[in-house]
Chains A and B, each alone.
Chain A
Amino acid sequence: MSLLEVKNLTISFGGLRAVDDFNIEIKKGQLYGLIGPNGAGKTTVFNLLTGVYKPDEGIISLDGHNITGLKTIEINKAGIARTFQNIRLFKELSVLDNVKVGLHNHYHYSTIEGILRLPKYYKVEKEMDKRAMELLKVFELDGEADYLASNLPYGKQRKLEIARALATEPKLLLLDEPAAGMNPNETGELMDTIRFVRDNFDMTILLIEHDMKLVSGICEELTVLNFGRILTQGETGSVLNNPQVITAYLGE
């Protein structure tokens, strides 16, 4: 069964049809790529999937549940987490605390227990620290746990965003240009990390990326967007050899 099923998704801004009749089906455990030239509507698709925008038309279902029109927070609770093209970390919080915000809905103690520092506070905080450090370790950020998030170098900030998203225990992870601003070395490492996350967290991943090395290296299937419409979709190798895709990328 497919984890994510999107049918006929459409949204317009003023006269512009930013996303027009978008369809996609992603199976559990798949590593799926969404590509297309600048302004094609890729980020808008993410914003629709996560409830930042409400679609004009279309149905989004996750794991068999219709999540169309739900609020962003409800969609996160239903199992979609994301990263952002323009990094959005909690800048004045530590690296560790950024991940602990991600753990928020999975570890509980009451406000009173927190203020009075009752035993449950210490117990739960310790568990949260442990889990957060495990996640940071996956991204080799455990050494920087007590840095302010804004003090991390760019590449590590992108990794921290992924760690924070994973902390919410999603079924589907959306990555918006995870390799943007990284050098080839860092991109190579990131590819390994993304594969590791998919394998070890049983994750399904949909990613937007311009870096063709990354896309061809790790994505199993692709959807190509152009001017808000699907140009083609299918298995990575055949999509990348499609002459239409090549023209769209090289520009007419």
Chain B
Amino acid sequence: MKKMKIAKTTKNNLITYSMVLIAYILVQILLITGHISSLMSGLLVPLCIYVMLAVSLNLTVGILGELSLGHAGFMCVGAFSGAFFSKCMDGLMPDGIRFFIALLIGAAAAGIFGILIGIPVLRLKGDYLAIVTLAFGEIIKNLVNVLYIGKDKNGFHFSMKDSISLHLDGEGQVIINGAQGITGTPHDASFTVGILLIFISLIIILNLINSRDGRAIMSIRDNRIAAESTGINITKYKLMAFSISASIAGVAGVLYAHNLSTLTALPKNFGYNMSIMILVFVVLGGIGNIRGSIISAVILTLLPELLRGLSDYRMLIYAIVLIVMMLLNWSPKAVEWKEGLKEKYFSRLHFRKEKEGR
């Protein structure tokens, strides 16, 4: 019995990994045979970014059971810290290594912000995290818009006013230029790197869930009081889940920054709209269902593009798909139907076993 369960989670995770792998191979074949439009191929890296964001937010929302409305804020932190590093180091080290370090820096910076927010907020009982992360996302976005950082022989210069107040000498270079953001970030992102990062995120999250720490995290979600009296350190495990979730969003941000020549913080990319959209991916894919998050992020990102030809009906169909997905995941009837299918399948297995037994 016990073995069966372990086999089941391993099998489940394998399905998730192979799904990503097969999607990657399919896209590669289509790319080589020239079956993907330039518009579509431009969507490949963003798709990876959305998948990472959805999967990581699901760690906070579905596994830890806390509501976060500022996931795009962590992505923003990762994007700017990673791009800042790449811009400073451009040409000073091999591209691959530089990008790798940029990814680590993005993860660390976003993770640190996660801890800074988590320490005061996650200790509180109740849904304070939602409101604080919402504010955090907006503050970060606005802060980045008035941030000026330049570099010259004398080192780094900061300002919150304008680029002239940086007082750079003739050779100096503005790296972060307020609302104009960072321009000329090296284009290191690719679909292959994106898929690799998805794999790493999945390994971290799925293996975390099926471990001692993951059980502790989920026990807090299921019953905080019981977890506490069973000897689980609530604050520690909440912080762990939340900061890992933030770190992965930060990595997604670094990928985002290295996919664009100009990085600016707009309501569209780092505002609460984005945070809510990621949350929609998570909710529609099924809270706590990692594979569901991947699927819904992909479908909901591709759909508007695929439906472009239908112009007028586009938003209508989009809305219908949203509703259908929600019904499939959440309506008691549909859940019953899915359970029924499972039962049918399992009872047949059971029957076969019984026959063999006799």
Q: Write the residues of chain A forming the contact surface with B, with a CB cutoff of 8 angstroms.
A: 50, 52, 72-73, 75-77, 81-82, 84, 88-94, 96-97, 100-102, 104-105, 107-109, 111, 114-117, 121, 124-125, 128-129, 133, 142-143, 145-146, 164-165, 167-168
Q: Is the CB of A121 within 8 A of B211?
A: yes
Q: Are A146 and B226 in contact (CB under 8 A)?
A: no
Whether the pair B226, A88 counts as a contact (CB closer than 8 A) is yes
In the complex, B40 has a CB within 8 A of chain A: no
Q: How many A-B contacts if CB must be within 8 Å? A: 109
Question: Are A101 and B240 in contact (CB-based, < 8 A)?
Answer: no
Could you tell me the distance between the alpha carbons of A94 and B178 in the complex, rounded to whole angstroms?
Answer: 51
> Given A101-B219, A104-B212, A145-B1, A115–B231 Cβ distance below 8 Å?
no
B218 & A93 in contact (Cβ 8 Å cutoff): yes
In the complex, whether B216 has a CB less than 8 A from a CB of chain A is yes
Q: Which residue, B212, B218, B233, B240, has most C-beta atoms of chain A within 10 A? A: B212
Known: A97-B215, A115-B204. A81 touches B230 (CB 8 A): yes
A115 near B208: Cβ-Cβ < 8 Å: yes
Say yes or no: A104 contacts B211, CB within 8 Å.
Answer: no
Report if B229 contacts A (CB, 8 A).
Answer: yes
Chain A residues, Cβ within 8 Å of B207: 114-117
Provide the residues of chain A in CB contact with B218, threshold 8 Å.
90, 92-93, 97
The CA of A186 and the CA of B288, in the complex, are separated in Å by 35
- Say if the beta carbon of B143 comes within 8 Å of chain A: no
Contacts of B5 in A (CB 8 A): 94, 96, 145-146
Q: Is B223 an interface residue (CB 8 A)?
A: yes
Say if the beta carbon of B213 comes within 8 Å of chain A.
Answer: yes
Contact B215 A101 (CB under 8 A): yes
| B179 within 8 Å of A (CB atoms) | no
Alpha-carbon separation in the docked complex, A52 to B4 (Å) = 38
Q: How far is the CA of A82 from the CA of B229 in the complex (A)?
A: 7
Interface residue from B1, B203, B219, B233 paired with A93 (Cβ < 8 Å) = B219
Query: Which residue of the partner chain, among A77, A91, A104, contacts B222 with CB atoms under 8 Å?
Result: A91
CB distance from B32 to the nearest CB of A (A): 34
Binary contact track B173-209/A, C-beta < 8 Å → 1, others 0: 0000000000000000000000000000001100110
CB pair A76–B204 under 8 Å, yes or no, is no
Q: Do residues A145 and B2 form an inter-chain contact, with CB atoms below 8 A?
A: yes
Contact of B2 among A73, A96, A102 (CB under 8 A): A96
Docked pose: A52 CA to B216 CA in angstroms: 19
Q: Which single residue of chain A is at the shortest CB-CB distance from B235? A: A73
A94 CA / B213 CA spacing, docked (Å): 15
Q: Do A88 and B223 touch across chains, with their CB atoms under 8 A apart?
A: yes
- In the complex, the answer to whether B222 meets A73 with C-beta atoms within 8 Å is no
Contact A76 B223 (CB under 8 A): no
The 9 closest A-B pairs by CB, nearest first: A114-B211, A146-B5, A90-B222, A88-B226, A76-B231, A72-B228, A101-B219, A115-B207, A90-B219
B314 sits at the interface (CB 8 A): no
Residues of B within 8 A of A76 (CB): 228-231
Distance from B124 Cβ to chain A, minimum over Cβ atoms (Å):
16
Asked if A146 and B211 sit within 8 Å, CB to CB, the answer is no
Of the residues B221, B225, B231, B240, contact of A111 by C-beta under 8 Å: B240
Smallest Cβ-Cβ distance to A124: which chain B residue: B212
Residue contacts A-B, CB under 8 angstroms, 24 given? A50-B229, A52-B225, A52-B229, A73-B231, A73-B234, A84-B226, A89-B222, A89-B226, A90-B218, A90-B227, A92-B288, A96-B5, A100-B212, A104-B212, A104-B230, A105-B231, A109-B212, A111-B240, A115-B203, A129-B2, A133-B2, A145-B1, A145-B2, A146-B5
Please indicate the chain A residues that have their CB under 8 angstroms from the CB of B230 in the complex. 76, 81, 101-102, 104, 164-165, 167-168
Q: How far is the CB of B14 from chain A (nearest CB, A)?
A: 13
Task: Give every chain B residue within 8 A of A104 (Cβ-Cβ).
Answer: 212, 215-216, 230-232
Residue of A nearest to B218 (CB): A93
**A101 and B2 form a contact (CB under 8 A):** no
Q: How far is the CA of A128 from the CA of B61 in the complex (A)?
A: 28
Chain A residue nearest in CB terms to B65: A92
Given the complex, which residues of A lie within 8 Å of B232, measured CB to CB?
A: 73, 101, 104
Name the residue of chain A whose CB is nearest to the CB of B234: A73
Least CB distance, A121 to chain B, in whole angstroms:
7
**Quick check: A77 and B231 within 8 Å, CB to CB?**
yes
Residue of B nearest to A132 (CB): B2
Supplied contacts A100-B215, A145-B1, 20 more A-B pairs, CB within 8 Å: A73-B228, A73-B231, A73-B232, A75-B229, A81-B230, A84-B225, A84-B226, A90-B222, A90-B223, A92-B221, A100-B212, A101-B232, A109-B211, A111-B211, A114-B212, A114-B213, A115-B204, A115-B208, A116-B207, A168-B230
